[in-house]
């Protein structure tokens, strides 16, 4: 009896460990079907709102900077609002990037900044699930029972200078991004996790205008 109890407890510990680590990703069994589903989902995603937590890891310094905020997407417009530990707002609307921290507002024309343009395109492609069709990256897919992992390796020079790769983990239930990992060449990375996601919820246009 004693041995059975020990084995049972041991088994529970193994399960607990596995679930805390996340399940491993393996080669996709039906990649064509999933690619179609992702593309279909992309067409149907008009808006998305979510909370996010961003973690910036500076590897050499063993430093982790964590921030939280809210994310809104509507018809190609993006609003990224950081609420803790600082207030910072970034809105991408109609080819312009507007940034506001405290009372100071700065605006930049995205067309004059290639890198910004490329990063914006990644965000929108990821949100809408168009990343698979991106000409700026090679994209490989793997899966586990609940998620799809997209690994994007940059092809374009500007992006290659900044990123080693970008990994996006999609929830199989609604094919929205759960996690985005931007891996830099020097070993640093930025991890963004999304929660409380609402797909195609009503979002006022006024959110994409800086007041």
Partner 1 sequence: MHPYLKVFLWLSSCCFFSSCVSVKNRSLLNVFTQCPPVYEHHLTDGRYNTKIDFHNRHFSGILVFKNMNDTTKRVVFITETGFKFFDFELTPQRFEKVYVVKNLDKKFVLHVLEKDFRMILFAPNDKNGVEQINDPVATVLKFPEKAEKFTTYYSDKKCNSLQRITYGSKNKIATQIDLEKGSSKSFEKIYIQHKQLGLTMDLKRMVDEME
To partner 1, the closest distance from the beta carbon of 134 in angstroms equals 20
Query: Cα 194 from chain centroid?
Result: 7
To partner 1, the closest distance from the beta carbon of 117 in angstroms equals 14
Strand order in the sheet with 147-154: 26-27, 137-143, 147-154, 163-171, 177-184, 189-199, 47-58, 63-74, 77-84, 88-93, 96-101, 104-109
Q: Which tokens go with 128? A: 């809408």
Nearer to partner 1, 111 or 200 (CB): 111
Nearer to partner 1, 99 or 156 (CB): 99
To partner 1, the closest distance from the beta carbon of 78 in angstroms equals 11
To partner 1, the closest distance from the beta carbon of 107 in angstroms equals 10
3-state secondary structure of 44: helix
Query: What is the rounded distance in angstroms from the CA atom of residue 175 to the CA atom of residue 44?
Result: 11
To partner 1, the closest distance from the beta carbon of 179 in angstroms equals 14
Identify whether the C-beta of residue 93 lies closer than 8 Å to the C-beta of residue 209. yes
To partner 1, the closest distance from the beta carbon of 210 in angstroms equals 14
Nearer to partner 1, 126 or 182 (CB): 182
Output the CA angle 200-202-207, nearest 5 degrees: 115
**Backbone torsions φ then ψ of 210, nearest 5 degrees:** -80, 125
Reported as half-sphere exposure (CB side, CA atoms, 13 A), residue 60 has a value of: 4
Nearer to partner 1, 1 or 60 (CB): 60
User: Residue 2: CB partners within 8 Å, gap ≥ 6?
Assistant: none
In the complex, the residues that contact partner 1 under the rule CB under 8 A are 54, 56, 58, 60-61, 63-68, 80, 82, 84-86, 88, 90, 99, 101, 104, 106, 161, 182, 184, 186, 188, 190
Nearer to partner 1, 31 or 188 (CB): 188
Nearer to partner 1, 2 or 104 (CB): 104
């Amino acid at each position: 009896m004693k041995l059975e109890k020990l084995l049972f407890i041991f088994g529970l510990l193994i399960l607990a460990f596995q679930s805390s680590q996340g399940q491993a990703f393996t080669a996709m069994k039906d990649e064509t079907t999933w690619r179609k589903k992702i593309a279909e989902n992309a067409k149907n995603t008009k808006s998305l709102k979510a909370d996010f937590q961003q973690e910036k890891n500076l590897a050499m310094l063993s430093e982790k900077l964590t921030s939280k905020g809210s994310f809104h997407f509507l018809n190609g417009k993006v609003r990224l609002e950081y609420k803790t530990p600082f207030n910072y707002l970034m809105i991408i609307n109609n080819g312009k990037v507007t940034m506001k921290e405290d009372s100071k507002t700065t605006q930049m024309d995205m067309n004059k900044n290639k890198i910004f343009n490329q990063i914006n395109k990644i965000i929108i492609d990821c949100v809408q699930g168009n990343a698979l069709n991106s000409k700026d990256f090679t994209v490989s897919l793997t899966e586990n029972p609940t998620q799809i992992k997209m690994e994007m390796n940059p092809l374009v020079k500007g992006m290659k200078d900044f990123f080693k790769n970008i990994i996006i983990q999609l929830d199989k239930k609604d094919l929205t991004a759960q996690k985005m990992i931007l891996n830099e060449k020097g070993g640093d990375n930025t991890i963004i996790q999304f929660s409380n996601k609402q797909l195609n919820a009503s979002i006022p246009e006024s959110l994409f205008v800086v007041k």
